[in-house]
Amino acid sequence: MSDHGDHAGHDHADHHHADHDHAGHGHRAEPLAPVEARVAAIETVLIEHGMFDAEMLDGIVENFEHNLGPLNGAKVVARAWVDPEYRKRLLADGTAAIAELGFGGAEGDHMVVVENTPDVHNLVVCTLCSCYPWPTLGLPPTWYKAPAYRSRAVREPRTLLAEMGTPIPDGVEIRVWDSSAEVRYLVLPERPAATEDLSEAELATHVTRDSMIGVERL
Amino acid sequence: MTAPIPDALTSMDGPTALPRDNGELVFAAPWEGRAVALALALVERLDLPWDAFRLRLIDAIADDPERPYYESWAAALEALVLGLELATPDALAKATPTERSPL
């Protein structure tokens, strides 16, 4: 997955200049399911009622983010580490290879997997909102939706990553992938050293959500 | 690290058991997580037993066993909110958005 040109229309130049609104980004096109609208209405009414505030709900959801975790994605990564043929299929057609493991759905129907190597580190962002591969990574972290992350990931990824505790050596190229409603990216992290003896299931427990977004190296 | 998922959630079994994949809880869309958070927050704020919600979830699933799990969850949440007179059907209808908020 070294050819950016494969994803014309989703690279930064096009994304920023041609699609700089949500309509172009594809979100308006996604229908709001009646049940989703109803849940939003219940939240609005209860907050107006003074029952709790949005921050309290955010806190609970944040708890889920940490504890419901990126578990499906971790299984995909572990399979790719132990099975070279699967890895090839995953990099060639992420959606199909992820579906082989039974994961997919509306928020993951066009997945592109980008591979970290000793020379290349990949970072995923959604510059315009918070497009995120739900079926593989679960709930998006709060910072993923923050304007600071969304802008700095593009403008100064090296500085941002260092601040997030992941300094990238100078010789390593950083590639930034801008997720959208049409394409969602998943980083295939490098397999950590000294894990030869681990089973696929054990390997999966080493894969973190942040490593599959690209803000952590394992 | 944050607190673990409340036992009230993870200990539900039978038809009310949260959807799992290989033993792990999964949400297919953001609103599902939001609906779970709303139920937890409401029960906690009103100091209700978890059964106040759980029994309505059982009813909601029995009402329409073919319906996706979290749609039943949302129906149970709505029934609880209406039952506690925290909202009227009218107020909910007025507050229902027609499109997703940007974030």
- Domain range summary for chain A, segments of one domain joined by +: 8-213
Average pLDDT of the segment spanning A25-40: 73
A190 pLDDT more than 90: yes
Chain B segment 41-100 residues within 8 A of A by beta carbon are: 41-42, 45-46, 70-71, 74, 77-78, 81, 86-87, 91-93, 95-100
Task: Provide the b/e sequence for A84-123 (b: ≥16 CB within 10 Å).
Answer: eebbebbbeebbebbbebebbeebbeebbbbbbeeebbbb
Query: Residue B25, CB half-sphere, CA atoms under 13 Å: how many?
Result: 25
Average pLDDT of the segment spanning A109-128: 93
The 10 Å Cβ neighbour count of residue A54 is 10
Report the length, in residues, of chain A: 218
A179 given a catalytic annotation: no
pLDDT per residue as tens digits for the range B3-22: 456 667 767 777 887 776 54
Q: Which two tokens stand for residue A114?
A: 């980008």
Answer yes or no: is B101 within a domain.
Answer: no
Contacts of A35 in chain B (CB under 8 A): 31, 70-71, 74
Answer yes or no: is B100 within a domain.
Answer: no
User: What does the DSSP assignment read for B1-50?
Assistant: --PPPPHHHHT--GGGSPPEETTEE--SSHHHHHHHHHHHHHHHHTT--T
Among A44-48, A69-73, A99-103, the minimum mean pLDDT is found in A69-73
Q: What pLDDT sits at residue A23?
A: 36
Domains: count for chain B: 1
What is the span of the domain harbouring residue B77?
7-95
Of the pLDDT bands very low, low, confident and very high (cuts 50, 70, 90), residue A105 is low
Among A81-90, A162-171, B8-17, the minimum mean pLDDT is found in B8-17
A27 pLDDT more than 70: no
Domain A8-213 sits in which CATH superfamily? Nitrile hydratase alpha /Thiocyanate hydrolase gamma (3.90.330.10)
Answer yes or no: is B19 within a domain.
Answer: yes
Average pLDDT of the segment spanning B23-44: 83
A12 pLDDT more than 70: no
